[in-house]
Amino acid sequence: MSFSKDFIWGAAAASYQIEGAAKEDGKGISVWDTYSHTKGKTKNNDHGDIACDHYHRYKEDIALMKEMGIKAYRLSISWPRILPEGVGSINESGLAFYNHLVDELLAAGIEPYITLFHWDLPQAIYDRGGWKNRDISDWFAQYVKVVVDSLSDRVTKWITVNEPQCHILLGHVDGSHAPGDQVSIRDAFIMMHNIHLAHGKAVQTIRKFAKKPGIVGYAPNPWPGIPFSNNKNDVEAAKNYSLSGTTRGLWSNTWWLDPVLSGRYPEDGLAYFKEDFPFDIIQGGDLEQICQPLDFLGINMYQGAIIQYDDQHGYIEVPRKTGYDKTAMKWLVLPEILYYMPKYLYERYQLPIYITENGLSLSDWVSLDGKVHDLNRIDFMHRYLKELKRATTEGVDIRGYFYWSVMDNFEWSEGYNERFGLIHVDYVTQKRTLKDSAYWYRKVIESNGDIL
């Protein structure tokens, strides 16, 4: 058994990371515009003012996507490009850009999968309290309606929120992402609850106003535990680790999955954080509104931990071996995450799964022959996709895979230091070069994964 005949092979990117045109055609300011222009916040003080200039070069970029054979492109919409103040007046030029982008994709035979929020929160919304203000869920729903009204006559694939745990915890607790705050744990829970509410109201908005029937999902980035061995105790320990509300504090997976998919906060997590969790934030009907029926679960998969059974604590994390295999960002190479995490989540939530992001950063450059020979990326993708294929053969309902990212781009606080793309971008000249991995991926797509 291989991938299903209608399996979706795609690639992904996000608005702030590639579009540029940060102050053009009426676009409003986002928290990432503000943060990246604050000295010392990003590597080399890099920012997304130009990025990959995708705003002006989208036709060229889509032609390259078509050349590499991808069937779907996961893009995000910039909220402040549509509503410069977050609410109120619509920026028609911003809407026009996304309309043209969608039309170009469809003409190229590439289906758009639209993510409605990928971290570029309007600064004006942040100034009104941002995610600490309960009203943000209604503001988000208003924005979603504008997008749905404009695009849903052609777009049928929707993702509400991308990696909410990264946006809330890195941006508002750790302070290493925009907006760079360091709030209390109590405030973090308030923001968590409000972003869950925003997700739920967005789903309701899409269902109510979409002009064409479609599918709706959600894309967190859960952190998987991989068993140290095939011993049943290790396997069970790794699963318990992955589905715990206490394993990694606020980063524990079920804080970001259970409310959305099961209509409750994790009981073990509530007990663990009982002194910090603001139970009064949950109003009547909130959890029902958060837990809207979904068509799929998107998961962004990059890292994980190796877990061994421990008879005292239930599980322990096995230290990484000396000289462990790592990406350019020093992330552990652990292909089994694409087998175990989809399996754990499908068994628990019974929703079809898309891998909405998976990839790695490498130190790529254009060689003397004018090509980019990223052999390690090919090896990485091959290893991970084989594990994903293994999950499908065991009955896990996996509908698609989106490589991150379609092109090199602005990697948030890392600036332009990291290259994740299938397409190499020279940020000075904006010249694009398909990497060897792009041509290899085309062969995978043409064979529907049979060559793996």
Question: So where are the chain's domains?
Answer: 8-446
- Going by C-beta distance under 8 Å and a sequence separation of 6 or more, which residues neighbour residue 51? 16, 17, 18, 19, 20, 409, 410
User: How much is the pLDDT for 91?
Assistant: 98
The answer to the question of whether 104 is labelled as a binding residue is no
Active site positions, annotated: 163, 357
Arithmetic mean of pLDDT over the chain: 98
Upstream peptide bond of 405 is cis (omega within 30 degrees of 0):
yes
The answer to the question of whether 9 is labelled as a binding residue is no
Task: Summarize pLDDT for 27-47 with one digit per residue, the tens.
Answer: 999 999 999 999 999 999 999
Q: Give the CATH number of domain 8-446; options: 3.40.50.11260, 3.40.50.410, 3.40.50.1220, 3.20.20.80.
A: 3.20.20.80
> How far is 226 from 221, CA to CA, in rounded Å?
15
Task: Summarize pLDDT for 92-145 with one digit per residue, the tens.
Answer: 999 999 999 999 999 999 999 999 999 999 999 999 999 999 999 999 999 999
> How far is 239 from 224, CA to CA, in rounded Å?
8
Task: Summarize pLDDT for 305-329 with one digit per residue, the tens.
Answer: 999 999 998 999 999 999 999 999 9
The answer to the question of whether 255 is labelled as a binding residue is no
The answer to the question of whether 411 is labelled as a binding residue is yes
The answer to the question of whether 118 is labelled as a binding residue is yes
The answer to the question of whether 165 is labelled as a binding residue is no
> How far is 251 from 40, CA to CA, in rounded Å?
26
Q: What is the average per-residue pLDDT within 220-247?
A: 97
Q: Which of 389, 394, 164, 351 is nearest to 262 (CA)?
A: 351
Question: pLDDT above 90 covers what percent of the chain?
Answer: 99
Q: What is the average per-residue pLDDT within 405-412?
A: 98
pLDDT at 227 exceeding the cut of 70: yes
The answer to the question of whether 79 is labelled as a binding residue is no
User: How much is the pLDDT for 2?
Assistant: 81
DSSP-derived letter for residue 220 is: -
Q: What is the pLDDT confidence band of residue 292, given thresholds at 50, 70 and 90? A: very high
Pull the structure tokens for residue 286: 């909130």
